[in-house]
Amino acid sequence: ATPTAIMVGTGKGAQYGILIKGGESLENAHKINTIVLDKTGTITKGKPSLVDVEPVPGFSVSEIIRFAASAEKGSEHPLGEAIVKDAQERGIPLTEATKFDAIPGKGVVAEVEGHIVMVGNSSLMEYEEVPLDEMEGAFERLSAEGKTPMYVSVDGKPAGVVAVADTIKEGSREAIAELKKLGIEAIMVTGDNRRTAEAIARQVGIEKVMAEVLPQDKAEVVRKLQSDGRIVAMVGDGINDAPALAQADTGIAIGTGTDIAIESSDITLMSGDLRGVVTAIKLSRATIRTIR
Ligand code: ADP
Ligand code: MG
């Protein structure tokens, strides 16, 4: 495209709160035929809150919250923060964990009041061979509702299930429908469990879901699609998303997300509204058309 067309295009983008890094980024976006979207913080608001606590017999609701929140106190993960915030709102006093370990994509292990407490997914529970049969029913029911359930164990024994829920952003559903009209396939990628991911995907109209993807494997998902000959955009907000944003033909960051995600991207959506992805692609197509 001509320098003038580029200037017009990036200028229009800025008016809509879409920051485009350089002319090449603007030109490239017209070729995108596949969009990979992170779930938490990208399709959803990324501010989950604790909505369910289901103790196994022998534990009380406040005990589960005390153990889980004390274990998550050192966590920077939104799931951990949601549990800690809930404990504070309920006025449940937390105790300082004497040991703490966060395992990316799985959960946390901590020593609380002399007990080993784990909060996380089934793959975390394997570390201490926690039997899940007493908790599985609750886990599956909550995930089918689109919530993110986590197992809680104390000294290798099942203690309960807690679940957090996140709200879908305004505009996510409409953006996916618009992308479809442009002939672009949307794929959700998330570390969350399959049922939860599929429930959220259904609500926004996404058909293809890649769930239980470990943080370090998101870039590999993008690379595989590219080796199938697709031109891929990745949309994400987190530290976890940065390598995938850099790998993609077009990296699109959520402006309310982490700095590293923004730095790794070609385009930033200031408000985080996914309809900005549609606008960016339309701007790119219009810019290219002006020279043909
Ligand atoms: P996402 O792609 O949604 O950001 P992550 O890769 O960070 O997800 O985490 C994947 C899964 O690992 C979560 O859905 C949860 O089951 C578990 N997990 C990760 N961190 C924590 C934590 N601090 N506490 C409990 N569970 C966690
Ligand atoms: Mg995210």
Q: Which ligand sits nearest to residue 77's alpha carbon?
A: 1
Contact 216, 12 (CB under 8 A): no
Say how far apart CA 211 and CA 40 lie, in whole Å: 12
Split at pLDDT 50, 70, 90, the class of 292 is: low
Which tens digits make up the pLDDT trace of 98-125?
A: 999 999 999 999 999 999 999 999 999 9
Number of H helices, E strands in the chain: 12, 13
- What are the percentages of helix, strand and coil residues in the chain, rounded to 5? 45, 25, 30
Report whether pLDDT(260) > 90: yes
Between the CA of 192 and the centroid of ligand 1 the distance, in Å, is 6
CA 164 to CA 80: how far, in whole Å? 10
Q: 46 alpha carbon to ligand 2 midpoint, in Å?
A: 7
Closest residue CA from atom 13 of ligand 1 = 192
Counting from 1 in the atom list of ligand 1, the atom nearest the Cα of 39 is: 3
List pLDDT tens digits, range 165-194.
999 999 999 999 999 999 999 999 999 999
Pair type for strands 267-269 and 250-254: parallel
Distance 209 CA to ligand 2 centre (A): 15
- Confidence band for 87, pLDDT divided at 50, 70 and 90: very high
